[in-house]
Structure 1
Amino acid sequence: MVNNLAWLWSAGTQGKTSRVRRKIALTNQVAIFGCVTVLPYQLFYLVDGLSPYTGIFTVNLVFMLAYAAVLYLNYRGESTTARNLLVGSGCVHALAATVFLSSAAGGHLFYFAVAGFLALVHEQMRASRFILLPLGVGVLYCVCQFVFTPERALLTLPERYLQIMYALSVFGVLTLSAVFSYLFHREIDMAEQEMTRNNRVLEELSSTDTLTSLANRRRLDDFLERASQRLQRRFQPLSLIMCDVDHFKPYNDLLGHPAGDACLQRIADTLRDTVCRQGDLVARYGGEEFAVVLPNTDRLGAMQVAETLRLAVQDLSLPHVPGSEQQVTISLGVTSVATPATTVTPAELIRRADEALYRAKANGRNRVEFSEF
């Protein structure tokens, strides 16, 4: 039922921050409950005979329209006006009901509920205003309680009716307080979940290369650092592969940057699809250079992965520059350390893998070379 009603009290929350959205939703919820709370009284007046209750029935209708206007104003984006209308209507409505029925009917008890959500529906509130508003509500409650006694009521009702109305008022106030507290905390939980999702997305964006959607240099450095520390404790090997696209500068210069970007994206997809073991990392190191981190992988395993990567890119059969019979290929440099020592830093791993990569390019490209540690 809560989810079915959520669309109604979400009026005006679209496109707002979680903080503002929470306050608008709370205002709408209290306005809805203001209407719902009055309905039992209105039904009683209709069943018992409307004629004696025409005045209070009309007053209730006016304020029900005011609560509906709160939803409309929030829908229009006028949340400040809606909030002020809600607070003012709630106070005046409770006062008017007490004038008609006296304090014995318990209508003035809703001042407690009004005081309870005053601080929550305001965007910002200075300490002086925060004190004055609940104080004003408290004064109104005392006026209703001690001034508008049954002897001064505009309507004379039997004692049993007044007792039933008082019980309904108590039940309404308790229900209103409990439900709006639940809904408010529900909105907070939803806002926290949204913030968690947003933070996760932002964290992923900050560690992802925008062109290839691979991990970027920042994530690579962090991953290498954590992998090295973890494997030092477990005495397991760690391997690193550095890949470079052969003759990429002429390709990029002759065919243009869009073609160069498309080429890098195809190669990045191939590397990611080929290195599919959970726990491994494929990253764009920079320009046309990529890195593959293989935790718990020794020299033999790393060389096999590197050769598989070389063949996978070669099998793409991407044509090189026009007039050339060559295809786009990659050269790879591999390094592996059997048991990472405290002196083996990520920078040292990258340096050794780069040495092997340069040797692969010097020996003819489209090949794999290994650098001893």
Structure 2
Amino acid sequence: MLNVLRRLWGQGAGNQTATIRRQIELANQVALFGAIATIPYQFFYAIADFSLYLSVFLANMICITGYIVVVLFNRMGRYWLASVLLLVNATLQIFVVTSEISTSAGVHFFYFTMASVAVFLFHRARLSIYIGLMVLLMFLFLVTYFLFPAGSTPAPVPAPWIHIMFGVSVVASMALSAVVLFLFRHSIDQTQHELLLTNQRLERLSGTDQLTGLANRRELDDVLEVAWTNVARYRMPLTVLMCDVDYFKRFNDRFGHADGDRCLKQVADALQQVCGRPGDVVARYGGEEFVIVLPGTDRAGAVTIGEQARKAVEALRIAHPDSPAGVITLSLGSATSDRGHNTVTELLDAADRALYRAKEAGRNAVVFASA
């Protein structure tokens, strides 16, 4: 039953912004509540004295139809019209029913509920419209209260039913107000959660290379800044490996950019598998260049990881006829912070110079910066 109701109050809300979706769902929820809450009264009128309560029975049937039309309007995309119809239908129903059975049934308390609904229903209205709606609902409440006091109608509901109806009306009006506020609060929380996820995704995208999924240059700068702080504060070693795919331009010229992109992705995956410790970061530096950041790794550890990275790329066996090795290979230059570097920029420059020497030495090699 609950799933059926959810499908009903979700009519027209699909593929809408969070704000519009809240408005649509709230209008449908209140409309469904109004229709369902009216039905028990109809049974009472039919059983107690149908001829006596015929007018209020027919009025309620018209209002139930109006609530159904609200859902249909939302389904058709007529959101503003649905909201207006809901407000008009509910306020008229409260007035008509109270005029038939007096305020002793407590139906007029639903004007307070409609006040809370109206605030959330017309989310883009000007303040003057909100004030006008509140004044109108307050006026209708006072009119019904003074115009139709208990015992003033020709069709009074006999005791104890009138007391039961009064209790049900009060509880229902308060419950509906509470439900409206809860659903709106839940909707706000859901919207905030969606916004948080979107911001997190955007933050990840802003620091992620779109081709390889590695950290990009911006994220690399942040990682190096934090890592260098630990070098200065805790005297921890920091190793940086500058990597370059050998003869990559020739590969691109021969096979095209699509194959070149696939090659870079495979190289990126291989480097990530080698650098699996927490804190290790592999970043795309630009083009076919990569940087591996190894916090807490000294020169001895860099020797091991550098050779593992070189062998992992060579083991991919990506055919490259224009390379002396016949396959894609990697040249690496390594520098460690315990070699007398004063800034992270100096460390990167030292690794870059070591990479240049690796290329001069024939490529597919790892060269370490001298002291």
Shorter-chain TM-score tier: over 0.9
TM-score with structure 2 length normalisation? Answer: 0.94
State the secondary structure of the residue aligned to 2:226. Answer: helix
The equivalent residue for 2:247 is: 247
Alignment of 1:114 onto 2:150: no
The equivalent residue for 1:344 is: 343
User: 1:36: Cα distance to partner?
Assistant: 2.6
State the secondary structure of the residue aligned to 2:160. Answer: helix
- For 2:259, give the aligned amino acid: A
Pairing 1:1-373 to 2, within 5 Å after superposition: 5-321=5-321, 326-338=326-338, 343-345=342-344, 347-372=345-370
For the 8 Å contact 1:255–1:321, the answer to whether it is kept is no
For the 8 Å contact 1:254–1:321, the answer to whether it is kept is no
Residues of 1 paired with 2:173 and 2:199: CA distance? 38
- For 2:28, give the aligned amino acid: N
**CA 325–314 in structure 1, closer or farther in 2 if over 3 Å, else same:** closer
State the secondary structure of the residue aligned to 1:243. Answer: strand
State the secondary structure of the residue aligned to 2:53. Answer: helix
User: 1:161: Cα distance to partner?
Assistant: 2.4
User: 1:175: Cα distance to partner?
Assistant: 0.8
- For 1:344, give the aligned amino acid: T
Q: Which is further off, 248-257 or 288-297?
A: 248-257
User: 1:203: Cα distance to partner?
Assistant: 1.1
Quick one: percent identity of the two aligned structures? 40
Q: Which is further off, 69-78 or 332-341?
A: 332-341
Query: Structure 1 stretches (4+) deviating beyond 6 angstroms?
Result: 1-4
Residues of 1 paired with 2:269 and 2:50: CA distance? 75
**CA 175–321 in structure 1, closer or farther in 2 if over 3 Å, else same:** same
User: 1:322: Cα distance to partner?
Assistant: 6.3
State the secondary structure of the residue aligned to 2:259. Answer: helix
**CA 349–70 in structure 1, closer or farther in 2 if over 3 Å, else same:** farther
Residues of 2 paired with 1:314 and 1:320: CA distance? 11
- For 1:146, give the aligned amino acid: F
- For 1:313, give the aligned amino acid: V
For the 8 Å contact 2:250–2:322, the answer to whether it is kept is no
**CA 169–339 in structure 1, closer or farther in 2 if over 3 Å, else same:** farther
Q: Deviations over 1:175-201 (max 9, x none)?
A: 111112111111111111111111111
Residues of 2 paired with 1:107 and 1:178: CA distance? 17
Residues of 1 paired with 2:10 and 2:123: CA distance? 17
State the secondary structure of the residue aligned to 1:158. Answer: coil
- For 2:145, give the aligned amino acid: Q
Residues of 2 paired with 1:316 and 1:186: CA distance? 51
**CA 369–2 in structure 1, closer or farther in 2 if over 3 Å, else same:** farther
User: 1:37: Cα distance to partner?
Assistant: 2.1
State the secondary structure of the residue aligned to 2:52. Answer: helix
- For 1:28, give the aligned amino acid: N
Residues of 2 paired with 1:276 and 1:321: CA distance? 31
Residues of 2 paired with 1:370 and 1:282: CA distance? 18
- For 1:127, give the aligned amino acid: L
Q: Deviations over 1:131-154 (max 9, x none)?
A: 111001100100000012344424
State the secondary structure of the residue aligned to 2:212. Answer: coil
Q: Which is further off, 60-69 or 355-364?
A: 60-69
Q: Which is further off, 56-65 or 155-164?
A: 155-164
User: 1:111: Cα distance to partner?
Assistant: 0.4
State the secondary structure of the residue aligned to 1:326. Answer: coil
RMSD: 2.0
For the 8 Å contact 1:12–1:76, the answer to whether it is kept is yes
State the secondary structure of the residue aligned to 1:52. Answer: coil
User: 1:340: Cα distance to partner?
Assistant: 9.6
Q: Which is further off, 322-331 or 275-284?
A: 322-331
Residues of 2 paired with 1:300 and 1:352: CA distance? 17
TM-score with structure 1 length normalisation? Answer: 0.94
Residues of 2 paired with 1:352 and 1:257: CA distance? 31
Q: Show structure 2 runs of 5+ residues with no match.
A: none
For the 8 Å contact 2:319–2:328, the answer to whether it is kept is yes
For the 8 Å contact 1:24–1:79, the answer to whether it is kept is yes
